[in-house]
């Protein structure tokens, strides 16, 4: 298998993150500095920062109700709490699939299954993710249509079509369900800023049809075999 996939299955990082480790010269293959695109055989020795990695991997899968005030990284250089701090002490080495920013909360999947992580985050997979969003004030029909058909976030960067439904509103706030099939950085916040609205609450509530299933804020649990099968076949 490709060396970035091997590292992803170790729970070291996503495939993209593994490429960065390889490019930084931190990965060796049979004692020599690894290159992007190298193939790993069962008899090969792969090491990260001089520490040998096993070929035997047990996949783990967690679902978390991420709270605000923690980051979706393995380690934060600013010393902030990460989502890994909320996992059980006996959890293996897993990494978050995709991102929820520091001020956002909700459904987050963590795993060391690089193939599943890639499938859930790759733009071509078009996996729907649904968010509960609250904005200040009201939204006009014209603003809603712009959100649904695509908003220019910056020159040459336009969001794809999405589903937007108002679920509650009065003169001071509006609650929306927004379903996206892409994952640009802080996309929903930037979309709503583009139509003149400010987000004061954002929570991911679904990935496909997978929900938080009553998980309290900050809690997590292992995914069931049925849920894992579902995600792999989305």
Q: b/e for 194-218, b at 16 or more Cβ within 10 A? A: bbebebeebbbbbbeebebeebeee
Quick check: is 101 catalytic?
A: yes
- 167-209 confidence digits (pLDDT tens): 999 989 999 999 999 888 899 999 999 999 999 999 999 999 9
Token look-up 């495939």 returns 15
Token look-up 């649990």 returns 221
pLDDT at 168: 95
**pTM as predicted:** 0.78
The Cα 84–Cα 95 span in angstroms is: 8
- Residue ranges and CATH numbers for the domains of the chain are 3-53 (3.10.290.10), 61-123+210-232 (3.30.70.580), 128-207 (3.30.70.1560)
- 43-102 confidence digits (pLDDT tens): 999 999 999 987 777 889 999 999 999 999 888 888 899 999 999 998 888 999 988 999
pLDDT at 183: 80
pLDDT at 140: 94
Q: What is the average per-residue pLDDT within 1-6?
A: 90
Q: Which of 19, 38, 49, 101 is flagged as catalytic?
A: 101
- 204-231 confidence digits (pLDDT tens): 999 999 999 889 999 999 999 999 999 9
The number of angstroms, rounded, from the C-alpha of 53 to the middle of its chain's C-alpha atoms is 25
Chain length of the chain: 234
Q: Which residues contact 222 (CB under 8 A, 6 or more apart)?
A: 60, 61, 62, 63
SS (H, E, C) 21-72: HHHCCCEEECCEECCCCCECCCCCCEEECCEEECCCCCCCEEEEEECCCCEC
Lowest mean pLDDT among 10-14, 116-120, 129-133: 10-14
Take residue 57 and report the two structure tokens written for it.
């991997």
């Amino acid at each position: 298998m490709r060396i970035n996939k091997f590292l992803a299955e170790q729970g070291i990082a996503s495939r993209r993150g593994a490429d960065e480790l390889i490019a930084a010269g931190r990965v060796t293959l049979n004692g020599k500095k690894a290159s992007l695109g190298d193939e790993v055989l069962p008899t090969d020795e792969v090491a990260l920062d001089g520490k040998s990695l096993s070929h035997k991997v047990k996949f783990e899968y967690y679902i978390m109700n991420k709270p605000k005030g923690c980051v979706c990284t393995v380690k934060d250089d600013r010393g902030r709490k990460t989502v890994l701090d909320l996992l059980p002490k006996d959890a293996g080495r897993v990494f978050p699939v995709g991102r929820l920013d520091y001020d956002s909360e909700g459904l987050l999947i963590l795993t060391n299954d690089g193939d599943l992580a890639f499938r859930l985050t790759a733009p071509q997979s078009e996996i729907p993710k649904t968010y509960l969003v609250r904005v200040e004030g009201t939204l006009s029909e014209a603003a809603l249509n712009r959100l649904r058909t695509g908003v220019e976030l910056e020159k040459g960067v336009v969001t794809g079509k999405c589903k937007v439904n108002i679920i509650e509103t009065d003169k001071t706030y509006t609650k929306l369900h927004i379903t996206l099939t892409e994952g640009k950085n802080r996309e929903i916040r930037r979309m709503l800023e583009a139509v003149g609205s400010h987000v004061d609450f954002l929570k991911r509530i679904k990935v496909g049809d997978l929900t938080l299933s009553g998980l309290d804020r900050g809690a997590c649990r292992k995914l069931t075999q049925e849920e894992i099968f579902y995600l792999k076949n989305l």
